[in-house]
Amino acid sequence: MASMSVKHAIAAAKKLRSLQERFNPGGSDIYPALMGDEAITALIPSGNPLSVHILMFTRALREQGTDEQYEKFGRRADNNEIIGTFAQTELGHGTYLRGLEARADYDRGTEEFVLNTPKLSSYKWWPGGLGQTCNYCIFVAQLYIDNEAKGMAMFVVQIRDEETHMPLPGVHVGEIGKKMGLNGVNNGFLGLKDYRVPRLNMLMRHQQVLPDGRFVKSPVSQVSYFPMVFVRCMVARQNSNYLAQAATIATRYSVIRRQSPIEEGQPEPKILEHLTQQMKVIPEIVTAVVYRLAAANLQNMYNETAEAVYRKDFSRLPELHALACILKVATSYDSTYGIERLRQACGGHGYLTAGNLGNIFAMAAPACTYEGENSVLYLQVGKILMKNWSQVLAGRELMPSMAYISECSKMTSFPQWTGSWECLLKAIQYACVGSIRLAFQSYNARVQSAQSQTAAVNYSGLELTKAAELHGRSYVAGNFYQQIVNSPNKHQRSPQFQKVLENMLELHLIQIFFRHLGDILRFIRITEDEISALQRRLEEVLKELRPDAVAITDAFDFNDKILSSALGCYDGNVYERLFEAALKHPLNRKSVPDFFEAHLKPFMKENADNAKKSKL
């Protein structure tokens, strides 16, 4: 499987090169890379062994290395002359970066770094492509000068001979084993023993070690985390894509499959006529659209911030970090749960490999873990919200994506309930700010009672993650509302198209309202009649969107090869394709399976003989 994946990945990387030359000759524009990776990722159901090379290795060389280091390593990596990965996570640590054990000791006598993974737990473990594909990596280690820890640093390390691909002396490298999915990625392990690299193999755009061993600190230590921010932004886009693929499959299947008359004596309807089926499928279509728009916004913010960082302007890093965390978590959680809901909406056939929903789930699910485990990133955002609440209390302005927090903090109570879109959006934001306030009271009380910040974060963790989740909902719903209601190109849309978009906004806001009704009722008084009115509107908007469901998913424009699903094929010949896939199963090559003579027949005969004996 790994070699097949590498073969496909190389073919797509060549396509990527031609895309790059067509779209942006000689440039390093990321979009062809992403499209290439999107195509590679979609066309290789077992995952792309070059993903981390494309998305992290090449970018770290560009963003963390000096111009000279880019010339020496980065250009060859961009040109796929060398293939690398990003080796940060260890067997013993993934989340807690300050606990990483791999070390780099500076030897001023030879102007080299001596790299070691001192214990088994220090082995790098998980990096994509590390097992067999890569001959280089970015090796993340704790930097030591005269045995004094200086923090994390990144090193360009060659791990295999470029001609023979043999591991170099001092390198212990291999595959970590079978996973739930992505088994074409050859995630690997890496141990280094007294492995020496020249001083100039440490990426030094932001921090330096001079020949005499003097250390020049980075102006902003977090800029070394920047490669992770990029992938978090990509996860938001990638996982909204996976959800869109699953929604396309389930929607098409739901208008082919007929089951259970709604009226006695009537013919069996398409299952998408059942209201409960509409509630399983249509909200997922809308969620895919909502996150695709949010991910595009985030991508633009990433590009602007990356350019600013290149100019040593780090001012927008904190906001990008907060948004990248919140969107990576929200899209990976909601897409993973959504794909499973869509699989279940396809009944038994949804469980067949030929439907491909299981594989899409297996591709989407690890995004809840990699690039920052989701609850850890929620806690990270919770901490940032605490800092921002202190700013609110001090009357200071907040970053643009948190401006609503200041506005809501000035409201002494929630205005008269109208049920309008603005009202629903404000309710979600108001509940978020109420949750932030409560979390802050708990957190601050702990800090005031002499608990350390880290301990206070831990013991306030449930409230911090709730506040973070509601902040994510507020940001995503607010972004969708702006794009539908206040977009500058709204007038270019046909009235019919605008109506479909507004129906999607209606559904998204009501769905989020009901999902967080408990959180909202904690801070806002809403009557039973007002809630029942929203229930009616939910049923109504599902009915309104039902006729557009297929057209919206067709607009995602996935061809049959990308969907790779007998349930979601464009021509709708589901049963013929399921049967065709079944007949291809190896067990159907013979009428009598080999195990009959070897196992089943003796087993049945032994039971029959025993039965006869017991009668005698």
Ligand X SMILES: Cc1cc2nc3c(=O)[nH]c(=O)nc-3n(C[C@H](O)[C@H](O)[C@H](O)COP(=O)(O)OP(=O)(O)OC[C@H]3O[C@@H](n4cnc5c(N)ncnc54)[C@H](O)[C@@H]3O)c2cc1C
Closest approach, Cβ 335 to ligand X, in A, equals 15
Beta bridge partners, 498, equal: none
Phi, psi of 120 (to 5 degrees): -60, -40
Site membership for ligand LHLMBYCS, residue 229 (CB under 6 A):
yes
Binding partner of residue 84 among ligand LHLMBYCS, ligand X, none, CB under 5 to 8 Å per kind?
Answer: none
Give the one entry of ligand LHLMBYCS, ligand X, none that residue 51 binds, where binding means its C-beta sits below a cut-off of 5 to 8 angstroms depending on kind.
ligand LHLMBYCS
End-to-end CA distance of the chain: 56
Tell me the torsion sign for CA atoms 147, 148, 149, 150: negative
Q: For the CB of residue 133, give the shortest distance to ligand X in the complex, in Å.
A: 12
Q: Binding pattern to ligand LHLMBYCS, positions 384-403, x when CB under 6 A? A: x-------------------
- How many positions of this chain bind ligand LHLMBYCS (CB under 6 A)? 35
Q: Does 317 bind ligand LHLMBYCS (CB under 6 A)?
A: yes
Nearer to ligand LHLMBYCS, 86 or 558 (CB): 86
Q: Tell me how far apart the alpha carbons of residues 281 and 344 are, in angstroms, rounded to a whole number.
A: 10
Is residue 37 involved in binding ligand LHLMBYCS (CB under 6 A)? yes
* β-bridge partners, 142: 103, 152
Query: CA 86 to CA 435: how far, in whole Å?
Result: 37
Q: Which does 187 bind (CB under 5 to 8 A by kind): ligand X, ligand LHLMBYCS, none?
A: ligand X
Tell me the Ramachandran region of residue 354: left when phi exceeds 0, alpha when psi lies from -120 to 50, beta otherwise: alpha
Instruction: Name the catalytic one among 284, 371, 506, 544.
Output: 371
Q: What is the DSSP string of 482-511?
A: HHHHS-TTGGGS-HHHHHHHHHHHHHHHHH
Question: Which of 12, 60, 153, 235 is the binder for ligand LHLMBYCS (CB under 6 A)?
Answer: 235
User: Binding residue per annotation — 369?
Assistant: no
Among 69, 88, 133, 305, binds ligand LHLMBYCS (CB under 6 A): 88
Residue number with CB closer to ligand LHLMBYCS (302 or 421): 302
Residue 238 makes contact with ligand LHLMBYCS by CB under 6 A: yes
Over 552-589, what HEC string results?
Answer: HHHHHCCCHHHHCCCCCCCCCCHHHHHHHHHHCCHHHC
Residue type, 475: Y
| By CB under 6 A, residue 136 contacts ligand LHLMBYCS | no
- Label residue 88 exposed, middle or buried (CB < 10 Å: 0-12, 13-18, 19+): buried
Residue 511: CB minimum distance to ligand LHLMBYCS, A: 24
Using CB under 6 A as the binding rule, whether residue 225 contacts ligand LHLMBYCS is answered as yes
Q: Is 502 exposed, middle or buried (0-12, 13-18, 19+ CB in 10 A)?
A: middle
Q: Answer whether 507's CB lies under 8 Å from 535's CB.
A: no
Q: Considering the rule CB under 6 A, would residue 613 count as an interface residue with ligand LHLMBYCS?
A: no
376 binds ligand LHLMBYCS (CB under 6 A): yes
* CA separation for the pair 85, 30 (Å, rounded): 17
Q: Is 241 in the site for ligand LHLMBYCS (CB under 6 A)?
A: yes
Neighbours of 612 (CB within 10 A): 9
Q: Which of 247, 255, 278 is nearest to 572 (CA)?
A: 255
412 marked as binding residue: no
Site for ligand LHLMBYCS in 50-69 (CB under 6 A): 51-52, 55
Nearer to ligand LHLMBYCS, 128 or 350 (CB): 128
Nearer to ligand LHLMBYCS, 76 or 232 (CB): 232
Q: Give 321-390 as a DSSP string.
A: HHHHHHHHHHHHHHHHHHHHHHHHTTGGGGGSGGG-HHHHHHHHGGGGTTTS-HHHHHHHHHHHHHHHHH
Could you tell me which of 38, 7, 44 has the C-alpha nearest to residue 564? 44
- Contact indicator for 457, 382 with CB cutoff of 8 Å: yes
Q: Would you say 289 or 330 has its CB closer to ligand X?
A: 330
Closest approach, Cβ 481 to ligand X, in A, equals 31
The dihedral through the CA atoms of 488, 494, 499, 505 has a sign that is negative
375 binds, among ligand LHLMBYCS, ligand X, none (CB under 5 to 8 A by kind): ligand X
How far, in Å, CA of 152 to CA of 583, rounded?
55
Question: What is the rounded (10 degree) CA torsion for 127, 133, 135, 137?
Answer: -20
**Amino acid identity, position 203:** L
> Over 161-208, what HEC string results?
CCCCCCECCCEEEEECCCCCCCCCCCCEEEEECCEEEEHHHECCCCCE
246 binds ligand LHLMBYCS (CB under 6 A): no
Q: Which option in ligand LHLMBYCS, ligand X, none does residue 503 bind, with CB closer than 5 to 8 A by kind?
A: none
Question: Given CA atoms 327, 328, 330, 331 in this order, what sign does their dihedral have?
Answer: positive
**Residue (465 or 511) nearer to ligand X, CB:** 465
Tokens of 326: 């919140």
Partner whose binding site includes residue 55, from ligand X, ligand LHLMBYCS, none (CB under 5 to 8 Å by kind): ligand LHLMBYCS
Phi, psi of 257 (to 5 degrees): -65, 130
- Compute the least distance from the CB of residue 127 to ligand LHLMBYCS, in Å: 7
Q: Please choose which of ligand LHLMBYCS, ligand X, none residue 484 contacts, taking the beta carbon within 5 to 8 angstroms, the exact cut-off set by kind.
A: none
Dist. CA 314–CA 301, nearest whole Å: 13
Nearest distance in Å: CB 608, ligand X: 50
Q: Known catalytic residue: 502?
A: no
Nearer to ligand LHLMBYCS, 376 or 517 (CB): 376
* Sole window of 96-104, 433-441, 494-502, 552-560 interacting with ligand LHLMBYCS (rule: CB under 6 A): 96-104
Binding site for ligand X (CB under 6 A): 52, 85-89, 93-95, 126-128, 182, 187, 366, 369-373, 375-376, 379
Q: Least distance in Å: CB of 92 to ligand X?
A: 8
Q: Are 269 and 360 in contact (CB under 8 A)?
A: no
| Candidate ranges 8-16, 70-78, 236-244, 582-590; the one touching ligand LHLMBYCS (CB under 6 A) | 236-244
State which of residues 106, 136, 333, 370 lies at the interface with ligand LHLMBYCS (CB under 6 A).
370
Q: Which residues bind ligand LHLMBYCS (CB under 6 A)?
A: 34, 37-38, 41, 51-52, 55, 86, 88-89, 94-98, 128, 222, 225, 228-229, 231, 234-235, 237-238, 241, 317-318, 321, 370-372, 376, 380, 384
> Which residues carry out catalysis?
371
Q: Cite the annotated binding site by residue number.
A: 89, 128
**Binding-site residues from annotation for FAD:** 89, 128
